[in-house]
Structure 1
Amino acid sequence: MSVVRGRAGAITFALVGYLFLVELVSGILQGFYVPLIPDLVEHLGIRDADFNWFEAAQLLLSAIVVPFLAKLGDMYGHKKILLVSTALTAAATWALAFTGDFTTFLIAWALQGFYVVWLPLEVALIFDRGRATGTAASQTRRAAGYLVVALEAGAILGALGGGRIFVALGGDVQTTLMVPAIAVTLVFFAIAFGVPESTPIPGRRLDFVGFVVLTLGLLLITSGLTFLRINGPGAWWVYLLMAAGVLVFVPWGRFELRQKDPAIDLRVLRQPSMWPIQLTAGLVGISILGAQAPLSTFAGTDPENGFGLGLDASEISYIIGAYLVSMIIGALIFPALSRWTSPRIALIVATFFVAVGYLLFLPNHTTVVGVFINMAIAGLGSGALVGALPAAAAAAAPRGQTGVATGLTNTTKTIGGSFASAVFAIVLTAGAASAISETASSLTGYLTVFAICGGAAVVAAVLLFLVPKLAFADVDVDEYAGYVDEPES
């Protein structure tokens, strides 16, 4: 990306470079443990199914803490909160290496999820640093693309390195788990000494009551979705949890509209350049976070069931690797596409790529080449959207609310992923009775999953047509002044 020189708050190679390291480590954390899951199950003395609790706990934490930490970033500086979240992630990652019981490991695994706020904080920091240049939106899109490249490259490195390091260390689980802990610790110092601070607006007030009620609503919804996946559709009480969570937002919304400096400014959220972005994040979260496990099990299903590719774990890893590489390409192409057309059109194109990729599974799922093509197409769109959505939210937000806006894209994406995980688990379990193999589902179940992913992306693309044509373009910072009231002093 270009370097803006001689202006305060410039977006520089150095800034993006240090944040590139942060996202590289974020990707490593997401990929490192995957090949180790069977060994971690044995290390903890638990069943394979119990490992689902780790993912569920981390999803719950991420949905809850991201809005709060993002708001603190807007109030006190995004670098400060980035450091705090990195320190908490490092402590939790070290704890994973030194615990051997289920409960402590579960708590540490959940707390490690503080890394989910890194990308929203980084995008907000980049945008706020470049706001005075007049080109913050376009530069943030390019920088976010590079950060997604780092994220996916780290995921590939983690997935490839986790198992190999474990073998090289003679199967020593504790020493192996120290490797990601060392990486997070090192990146803490990279942030501390290499990343400049954003400039928060003084005199802000924390809407503590608003965040408590927001947390309660999110906790009820995400925990309901989690228990729906674990207990199945017959557990009537999970629907009560989710309904209660939705109802909590009615009085919460009324309360927030009366606050001068609310936890979430609903006046900003209902802007035509903001609400479609947040809904799109939730809808594409269905495929980005929810479809990976079904894709892997579909590829590994024995063709004797009448479908599936019959691939082993190493062969599946090649397909997943190709998907991640296509995400990297999508992240790099998106800024150029935005420049050639417009940011709005580029977002629509990326979302349609996700839709086409998954809908192609309906007729094209019988060969390895066909599945590879489908995933590559979906990966191009997904890779573009991972960085583009928080960047678009930052461009649509007024000064002082950049972090909350970018953080909400992560929260809605997480809720979409939780919804998808619950629904997909039910759909695939319901189809298992008609399969020949004990562990297989049905072709109808898998096609339903792919249709939901593709259909959700189509809806998101249609919503993006409602965004103003010139949204997310480079504008003068003063144009944001009328969006939000001045905070109380």
Structure 2
Amino acid sequence: MDSSQPAARSGGVVGILAFAGIVAAITQTLVVPLIGELPTLFDTSASNASWVVTATLLAAAVITPVAGRLGDMYGKKRMLLVSLVPLVLGSVVCALSSSVLPMIAGRGLQGLGMGVVPLGISLLRDVVPAEKLGTSIAMMSASMGVGGALGLPFSAAIAENASWRVLFWVVAALTLAVATLIWFFVPAGSENTSKGSFDLLGAIGLGIALVCLLLGVSKGADWGWGSGTTLGLLGAAIVLLLAWGWWELRTPEPLVDLRVTAAPQVLMTNAASILVGFAMYAQSLVIPQLLQLPEATGYGLGQSMLAMGLWMAPAGLMMMVMSPIGAKLSAAKGPRVTLAVGALIISIGYGISLPIIGTSSPWGLLAVTIVCNTGVGFAYGAMPALIMSAVPQSATASANSFNTLMRSIGSSVSAAVMAVVLAQMTTQFGPVSLPSESGFRVALLIGSGVGLAAAVVAFFIPVRPVAAKPEPGSTPDTVPEAVEAKA
């Protein structure tokens, strides 16, 4: 941290950056209440309307590592402000859209702003006192859960009581408020930026590879997993990723320094992140369906979209409540332990859900989401701490962005796997085919197993020895010593 930065202001800085993360998360869940209405609103097919969601996912995946590298090169605060520009523009485009193509373009622009969270976490290393860094990272990481929790009831309430366009005008206004707060109240952070050249070829190659991978994964259920399009995209993704890795190892200024990410601590943290991303997203897909399916099924609870969002909201808020506890556990035992404990809690949350399915009360499912998101809060706060303790300060933003990408890939694979399970295990209710109770049980068992696998991987993360304690006023090259001392 810059010694000129008053310690008293760090709480406000963390609050502003967490607010930015909440707005970004709200943006991602913004259109969920509209999915069923989009074909009618824009006079298009359901398949075309689904691109309103897919466009954001793809754009976010492509921009995340790029924003991280540019943050390391030109400054994290500067890139934070740059990332907010497409969020505003995309919101305005969506609000003014009268057909599906502009809507998809606007959602793609919004996706280009999703580098906000990894950039914000990386900036904390520069501007927050060492003794507060662990808690600050946990709070910033939890902001995604809070935004997701608030996004569903917020979007549903507005969509039910006002024009859907209001959703996007509100997000545009919130994003402008975030930009203003960052401009005036968040310091620029370390000047120790990496001024090398930008790896444009690496960025293009990784972007195309990720589009092929995530498009194949996210649309495979619609196109058919054995279709030429799906197999061609997944095959192209593998070839392109191998070629990209070869290039990154040979270029002097890579987009992602694979030698740094290949360090055992970083590599295994990213592996655990994929599994945690999978486990986190699975329950956010399964539980809302159980809440909304008709009571006549015997296991659905017949809740409205708004009611479902309200039942899901406490779980996201629990991430923020538990983040300081996770930070204290990291300070006492090390973030590796916190990550393993968090993943184990996620697994337990899925486990307790199995006897609850088929009961007539949503309170049991609320308990499941609270337990799962408690584990997510622990895990999401620990992963950036493990990454930043293993990379030089000049690579903080790109390493964090790559870790965020790994979580996104886990979430995308989770969506595909859950879709296959629930589509294959169905039951007929009159003319309608719905996911069966057995399908939900299998999906939840998969979530529990993946959470347990994440705990095992986390337990074996080899944490590197702690560097010597920095002199007062100097910029530490790792996370606070307390965070790693007992890892």
TM-score range, shorter chain: 0.7 to 0.9
Match of 1:143 in 2: 136
Residue 192 (structure 1) aligned to one of 154, 165, 183: 183
Q: Which residue identity does 1:374 align to in structure 2?
A: V
Secondary structure in 2 matching 1:366: coil
Q: Residue 284 of structure 1 contacts residue 416 of structure 1 at CA under 8 Å; is this kept in 2? A: yes
Which residues in structure 2 correspond to 1:52-67 (within 5 Å)? 52-67=50-65
Letter aligned with residue 177 of structure 2: L
Structure 2: how far apart are the matches of 1:293 and 1:371?
13
Structure 1 contact 28–157 (Cα < 8 Å) conserved:
yes
Tell me if the contact between 1:127 and 1:395 (Cα under 8 Å) persists in the aligned partners: no
CA distance in structure 2 between the partners assigned to 1:108 and 1:296 by the alignment: 26
RMSD across aligned positions (CA)? 2.8
Can you list the C-alpha shifts for 1:271-322, whole angstroms capped at 9, x where unaligned? 1211111112211111323442322112223354453334343442333123
Q: What are the equivalent positions in structure 2 for 1:34-433 lying under 5 Å apart?
A: 34-38=32-36, 40-47=38-45, 50-130=48-128, 135=130, 139-166=132-159, 171-198=162-189, 199-367=191-359, 368-433=362-427
CA contact under 8 A between 2:92 and 2:169: conserved in structure 1?
yes
Q: Is the 8 A contact 2:149 2:309 kept in 1?
A: no
Describe the shift of the 1:225–1:100 C-alpha distance in structure 2 as closer, same or farther (beyond 3 A). Answer: same
| In 2, Cα distance between equivalents of 1:105 and 1:190 | 28
8 Å CA contact retained: 2:119, 2:401:
yes
Residue 333 of structure 1: how far off its partner (Å): 1.9
CA-to-aligned-CA distance 1:209-265 (integer Å, 9 cap, x gap): 222222222122111112203223242431232122122222322322223322211
2:42 corresponds to which letter in structure 1?
Answer: L
Amino acid at match of 1:448: V
Q: After alignment, is 288-297 or 96-105 more displaced?
A: 288-297
Which amino acid is 1:127 matched to?
Answer: R
Closer/same/farther in 2, CA of residues 415 and 388 from structure 1, 3 Å limit: same
Instruction: Name whichever of 143-152 and 376-385 sits farther off.
Output: 143-152
Q: Is the 8 A contact 1:286 1:417 kept in 2?
A: yes
1:483 aligned residue: none
**What does the per-residue CA deviation read over 1:446-475, in whole Å, with 9 as the maximum and x for residues that have no partner?**
122212222222111111122235678995
> What amino acid sits opposite 1:350 in the alignment?
G
Contact 1:348 1:461 in 2 (8 A): yes
Task: State the AA in 2 paired with 1:324.
Answer: G
In structure 1, how many angstroms separate the alpha carbons of the residues matched to 2:136 and 2:6?
A: 15
Worse-superposed segment, 76-85 or 36-45: 36-45
- 2:31–2:53 Cα contact (<8 Å) kept: no
Amino acid aligned to 1:183 = L
The structure-2 alpha-carbon separation of the partners of 1:155 and 1:203, relative to structure 1 and needing over 3 Å to count, comes to closer
Q: Determine the C-alpha separation between the residues in 2 that align with 1:448 and 1:142.
A: 36
How big is the shift at 1:41? 4.7
CA distance in 2, matches of 1:32, 1:227: 20
Whole-Å Cα distance in 1 between the matches of residues 52 and 356 of structure 2? Answer: 34
Structure 2, unmatched stretches of 5+, are 479-487
Counterpart CA distance in 2 for 1:471 and 1:328 is 30
Deviations 1:398-439 (A, max 9, x none): 121101111012111111111111222122111225666714
Q: How does 1:23-42 map to 2 (within 5 A)?
A: 23-38=21-36, 40-42=38-40
SS of the residue aligned with 1:400?
Answer: helix
Q: 1:343 touches 1:472 (CA, 8 Å); kept in 2?
A: no
Q: Which residue identity is paired with 1:179?
A: V
1 CA distance for matches of 2:250 and 2:335? 33
Identity of aligned residues (%): 25
Q: What does residue 486 of structure 1 align with?
A: none
Tell me the amino acid that sits aligned with residue 136 of structure 2: A
Distance 1:234 1:256, change over 3 A: closer
| Contact 1:272-1:466 at 8 Å conserved across structures | no
Q: Which runs of 5+ in 1 are unaligned?
A: 481-489
Structure 1 stretch 341-350 or stretch 465-474: which is displaced more?
Answer: 465-474
Contact 2:335 2:383 in 1 (8 A): no
Change (3 A) 1:416 1:302: same
Structure 2: how far apart are the matches of 1:268 and 1:13?
31
Alpha carbons of 1:430 and 1:185: their partners in 2 closer, same or farther (altered >3 Å)? Answer: same
TM-score of the pair, normalised by structure 2: 0.88
The question of whether the paired residues in 1 share the 8 Å contact of 2:292 and 2:308 is answered with: yes
- The 1:425–1:397 alpha-carbon spacing in structure 2 relative to 1, beyond 3 Å, is same
The offset of 1:35, in angstroms, is: 3.5
Q: Is the 8 A contact 1:57 1:106 kept in 2?
A: yes
Following superposition, the deviation at residue 205 of structure 1 comes to 2.0
Distance 1:457 1:436, change over 3 A: farther
Pair 1:22 & 2:20 matched: yes
**Contact 1:217–1:245 (CA under 8 A) maintained in structure 2:** yes
Question: Once the two structures are superposed, what CA deviation does each residue of 1:116-160 show, in whole Å capped at 9, x if it has no partner?
Answer: 211100011111335xx6x2xx63321122224544444444433
Contact 1:289 1:414 in 2 (8 A): no
Q: Are the structure 2 counterparts of residues 473 and 458 from structure 1 closer, same or farther at C-alpha, using a change threshold of 3 Å?
A: farther
Cα distance in 1 between the residues matched to 2:238 and 2:178: 38
CA distance in 2, matches of 1:39, 1:251: 41
Shift in CA distance, 295/194, structure 1 to aligned 2, threshold 3 Å: same
Question: 2:61–2:405: 8 Å Cα contact kept in structure 1?
Answer: yes
* Alpha-carbon shift at residue 76 of structure 1 (Å): 0.4
